[in-house]
Amino acid sequence: MFKRIIVLLAGVWLCAVPAAAQQQPEVAVIRAAVLRVDDPGLPPISRLDLPPEDLAFAGARLAIEDNDTTGRFMNQDFEAEEIATDPGSAGAELDRLIEDGIQFIVVLADDATTLALADQAGDRAMILNAMARGDNLRGTDCRFNTIHVAPSNAMLADALAQFLMWKNWPRWFLIEGSHPADTALADAYRRAATKFGARIVEDRVYEDTGGARRTDSGHVQVQKQMPVFTQRAEDHDVVVAADEADVFASYLPYQVWDPRPVTGSAGLVPRSWHPAMEAWGASQFQNRFEELANRPIREPDYQTWLALRMIGEAATRTQSADPQTLREFMLSEQFEVAGFKGQKLTLRDWDHQVRQPILLTTGKLTASVSPQEQFLHQISQLDTLGIDRPETECKFREAT
Amino acid sequence: MKHLLTLTLCLAAAPALANRVFVSNEKGNDVTVLDSETLEVIGTYPVGNRPRGITISPDGSELYVCASDDNLVRVFDPETMEEMHTLPSGPDPELFVLHPSGNPLYVANEDDNLVTVVDTKTHEVLAEIPVGVEPEGMGVSPDGQVVINTSETTNMAHFIDSDSFEIVANVLVDSRPRFAEYNHDGSKLYVSSEIGGTVSVIDPSTQQIAHKIEFEIPGVLPEAIQPVGVRVTSDGKKVFVALGPANRVAVIDGETDEVRDYLLVGQRVWQMAFTPDERYLFTTNGNSNDVSVIDVAEEEVVKSIPVGQQPWGVVVAPD
Mean pLDDT over A311-326 rounds to 96
What is d(CA B120, CA B76) in angstroms, rounded to the nearest whole number? 13
Does the CA dihedral B92-A78-B160-B123 come out positive or negative? Answer: negative
Structural domains counted in chain A: 2
Q: So what's the pLDDT on residue B110?
A: 86
| pLDDT of A24 above 70 | no
Q: Read off the pLDDT of each residue in A280-288 and give the average, rounded to a whole number.
A: 92
Write the residue in B111, B165, B195 that is nearest to A10 by C-beta. B165
Share of chain A above pLDDT 70, in %: 90
Please report, for residues A372, A374, B22, B277, B314, the alpha-carbon distance to residue B56 in angstroms, rounded to integers and kept in the order given.
40, 42, 9, 16, 10
Interface of B with A in 210-249 (CB under 8 A): 221, 223, 226, 245
Q: How many CA atoms lie within 13 A of B280 on its CB side?
A: 30
What integer pLDDT is reported at residue B315 of this predicted model? 98
Q: Taking all residues of chain A, what is their mean pLDDT, rounded to a whole number?
A: 91
> Are the Cβ atoms of B195 and A19 closer than 8 angstroms?
no
Q: Are residues A238 and A319 in the same domain?
A: no
Inside any domain, residue A158: yes
Phi-psi region of A246 (alpha: psi -120 to 50; beta: other; left: phi over 0): left
Residues A291 and A258 in one domain: no
Q: Is residue A385 part of a domain?
A: no
In a domain, A376, yes or no: no
- The verdict on a CB contact (< 8 Å) between B175 and A338 is yes
Dihedral sign from CA coordinates of A372, A374, A377, A379: positive
* Spatial separation of the C-alpha atoms in residues A262 and A191, rounded to whole Å: 19
pLDDT at residue A354, rounded to an integer: 98
User: Which residue from A7, A18, A317 is facing B128, i.e. has the nearest CB?
Assistant: A7
Do A35 and A130 fall within a single domain? yes
Nearest CB to B166; choose among A13, A337, A380: A13
Q: How far is A235 from chain B (nearest CA, A)?
A: 37
Residues of A in contact with B117 (CB under 8 A): none
Same domain, A111 and A40: yes
* Domain stops at, among A341, A356, A371: A356
Q: How confident is the model at residue B10 (pLDDT cuts 50, 70, 90)?
A: very low
Q: Where a domain ends, among A210, A239, A270?
A: A270
Is residue A365 in a domain?
A: no
Q: With 50 as the cut, is the pLDDT of residue A18 above it?
A: no
A372 domain residue, yes or no: no
pLDDT for A325: 97
Q: Any idea which of A32-36, A69-73, A194-198 has the lowest mean pLDDT? A: A69-73
For B111, the closest of A287, A336, A381 (CB atoms) is A287
A377 chain-B contacts, CB cut-off 8 A: none
In whole angstroms, give the CA distance from residue A253 to residue A259.
9
Q: How far is B30 from chain A (nearest CA, A)?
A: 19
Omega of the bond prior to B88 within 30 degrees of 0, cis? no
Q: Is the complex ipTM more than 0.95?
A: no
Of B92, B168, B195, which is closest to A338 when you measure between CB atoms? Answer: B195
B250-274 residue pLDDT tens: 999 999 999 999 999 999 999 999 9
- Is A325 a domain residue? yes
User: Same domain, yes or no, for A134 and A225?
Assistant: no
CB pairs under 8 A between A and B: 94
Do B167 and A19 count as a contact with CB atoms less than 8 A apart?
A: yes
What lies within 8 Å, CB to CB, of B29 at 6+ separation is B46, B47, B48, B49, B50, B51
If you measure CA to CA, which chain A residue comes closest to B27? A278
Q: What is the pLDDT of residue A218?
A: 56
Residues of A in contact with B170 (CB under 8 A): 18-20, 73
Nearest CA in chain B to A309: B153
Is the pLDDT confidence value at A27 over 60? yes
Domain of residue A138, CATH code: 3.40.50.2300
Backbone angles phi, psi at B77, to 5 degrees: -75, 115
Where residue A220 falls among pLDDT bands split at 50, 70, 90?
low
> Given this model, what pLDDT does residue A117 score?
98
**A288 and A264, same structural domain?**
no
Q: Taking all residues of chain B, what is their mean pLDDT, rounded to a whole number?
A: 93
Cis peptide before B222 (omega within 30 of 0): no
Given pLDDT bands bounded at 50, 70 and 90, which one contains residue A14? very low
- Tell me the HSE value of B207 on the side-chain side, using a 13 A CA sphere: 16
A20 lies in the same domain as A166: no
Task: Compute the distance between CA of residue A168 and CA of residue A238 in angstroms, rounded to an integer.
Answer: 10
Residues A38 and A139 placed together within one structural domain of the fold = yes
A257 within a domain of the structure (yes/no): yes
Per-residue model confidence (pLDDT) at position B193: 96
Could you give all domains of chain B from N- to C-terminal order, each with its CATH number? 178-264 (2.40.10.480)
The confidence score (pLDDT) of residue A224 equals: 79
* Statement to judge: residues A19 and A147 lie in one domain: yes
In percent, the amount of chain A with pLDDT more than 90 equals 81
Query: Higher-confidence residue: A226 or A356?
Result: A356
pLDDT at A1: 37
Per-residue pLDDT tens digits for B278-305: 999 999 999 999 999 999 999 999 999 9
pLDDT at A203: 97
Q: Are residues A36 and A124 in the same domain?
A: yes
Domain containing A58 equals: 15-151+274-356
Q: How many CB atoms lie within 10 A of CB B209?
A: 18
Question: Three-class SS string for chain A?
Answer: CHHHHHHHHHHHHHHHCCHHHCCCCCCEEEEEEEEEECCCCCCCCCHHHCCCCCCCHHHHHHHHHHHHHHHHHHCEEEEEEEEEECHHHHHHHHHHHHHCCCCEEEEECCHHHHHHHHHHHHHHCEEEECCCCCHHHHCCCCCCCEEECCCCHHHHHHHHHHHHHHCCCCEEEEEEECCHHHHHHHHHHHHHHHHHCCEEEEEEEECCCCCCCCHHHHHHHHHHHHHHHHCCCCCCCEEEEECCCCCCHHHCCCCCCCCCCEEECCCEEEECCCCCCCCCCHHHHHHHHHHHHCCCCCHHHHHHHHHHHHHHHHHHHHCCCCHHHHHHHHCCCCCCEECCCCCEECECCCCCEECCCEEEECCCCEEEEECCCCCCCCCCHHHHCCCCHHHCCCCCCCCC
B47: which residues sit within 8 A by CB, 6+ positions away?
B24, B29, B30, B31, B65, B67, B74, B76, B83
- pLDDT surpassing 90 at residue B16: no
Question: Are A145 and A279 found together in one domain?
Answer: yes
Amino acid, res. B228: V
Residues A144, A197: one domain? no
Q: Would residue A399 count as lying in a domain?
A: no
End-of-domain residue from the set A245, A270, A295: A270
Rounded to the nearest 10 degrees, what angle do helices A299-318 and A282-293 cross at?
A: 110
Q: Which of A5, A72, A337 to mutate to test the interface with B (most CBs of B within 10 A)?
A: A72
Task: Give chain B as a 3 state SS string.
Answer: CHHHHHHHHHHHHCCCCCCEEEEEECCCCEEEEEECCCCCEEEEEECCCCEEEEEECCCCCCEEEEEHHHCEEEEECCCCCCEEEEEECCCCEEEEEECCCCCCEEEEECCCCEEEEECCCCCCEEEEEECCCCEEEEEECCCCCEEEEEECCCCEEEEEECCCCCEEEEEECCCCEEEEEECCCCCCEEEEECCCCEEEEEECCCCEEEEEEECCCCCCCHHHCCCCCEEECCCCCEEEEECECCCEEEEEECCCCCEEEEEECCCCEEEEEECCCCCEEEEEECCCCEEEEEECCCCEEEEEEECCCCEEEEEECCC
Buried b / exposed e across B217-235, counting CB within 10 Å, b at 16+?
Answer: beebbebbbbbbbbbbbee
Task: Tell me whether residues B154 and A73 touch, CB distance under 8 A.
Answer: yes
Residue B167 confidence (pLDDT) above 50: yes
Kindly state the average pLDDT of the residues A40-60.
91
